[in-house]
Amino acid sequence: MTKNRFAKRTDGSLAGGQTGWFQGGASCFTPLARPTPQPAWRIILLGPPGVGKGTQAELLGEQLHTCHLATGDLFRAAKSLDEAGRSPALRNAVEHMKHGELVPDETVLSLVRERVHCLKCSGGFLLDGFPRTVAQAEALEKLLAAEQVHLSAVFNYDLPVEQIISRVFGRLTCAQCKTVYHTAARPPQVAGYCDKCGGKLFQRDDDQPAAVKVRMDAYLNSTRPLIEFYRQRGLLLNIDASGAPDQICRRTCKLVLNR
């Protein structure tokens, strides 16, 4: 695989389009030339929590030469910012997260609007964590239409619930560069420490059993209807999320490149 120019650097800082995604405002990244005649892919990633969307986004970014834009990463980063560094939408989102509540549709949409330059970037995007509801999808559709941006596809990763639970409960995240590991499927070379930057690994709050149940219930009630929403628009590609990450990535690329 080629080197991902948008990947987090070994010192934990961000490169490329992800910088604009985290900072908001008018900043944007001018992408490097992509292989000719490869298009700029604009893709939404769907699937239940723990299915491996973040890992696939990292691998797909290398293969499709585009940037992973994750609202979950944005929310988690917002917690570490001081009050002055947060936009009104970020402050609102953090308050809801402090109380263990899901961030409302309008707040999430406001965050995305603040970063519309990332969706317009000629490098394309892999959008992970948004939209989560049909209402968000309809709002995103209007936003993209206003900017004359067209989706390439929507990937729906599917995996039996028992396998998802196994993945989530063994998942570890690097505190510095956010690389994801798994105690069984993708263990670090040195237990408790990241292979890439040496940062300490931890289990995220939303990977705890009680949080996983809340996230699964939210997915079944709100996010799953998105599958039909995007199927009706001819954008949906269902992908079997079983197997090793590289296998799933090859399976995904084969589908999208033959689209």
Q: Parallel, antiparallel, or unpaired: how do β-strands 67-70 and 153-158 relate?
A: unpaired
Q: Which of 8, 42, 53, 167 is catalytic?
A: 53
Q: State yes or no: is 9 an active-site residue.
A: no
Question: Which strands sit side by side in the sheet containing 171-174, from one edge to the other?
Answer: 180-182, 171-174, 201-202
Q: Which of 132, 167, 178, 186 is catalytic?
A: 132
Q: For tokens 């709002």, what's the residue?
A: 139
Q: State yes or no: is 53 an active-site residue.
A: yes
Q: State yes or no: is 215 an active-site residue.
A: yes
Question: Which strands sit side by side in the sheet containing 153-158, from one edge to the other?
Answer: 67-70, 125-128, 42-46, 153-158, 236-240
Q: State yes or no: is 171 an active-site residue.
A: yes
CA dihedral 19, 57, 216, 232 (to 10 degrees): 110
Q: State yes or no: is 132 an active-site residue.
A: yes
C-beta separation of 219 from 148 below 8 A = no
Q: Is 67 in a helix, a strand, or coil?
A: strand
Side chain identity at residue 122, one-letter code: S
Q: Which of 167, 171, 178, 186 is catalytic?
A: 171
Q: Which of 86, 91, 204, 231 is catalytic?
A: 204
What DSSP element (H or E) covers 136? Answer: helix 134-146
* Residues forming beta bridges with residue 40, ordered by sequence position: none
Residue 26 per-residue DSSP state: T
Annotated catalytic sites, by residue? Answer: 53, 132, 171, 204, 215
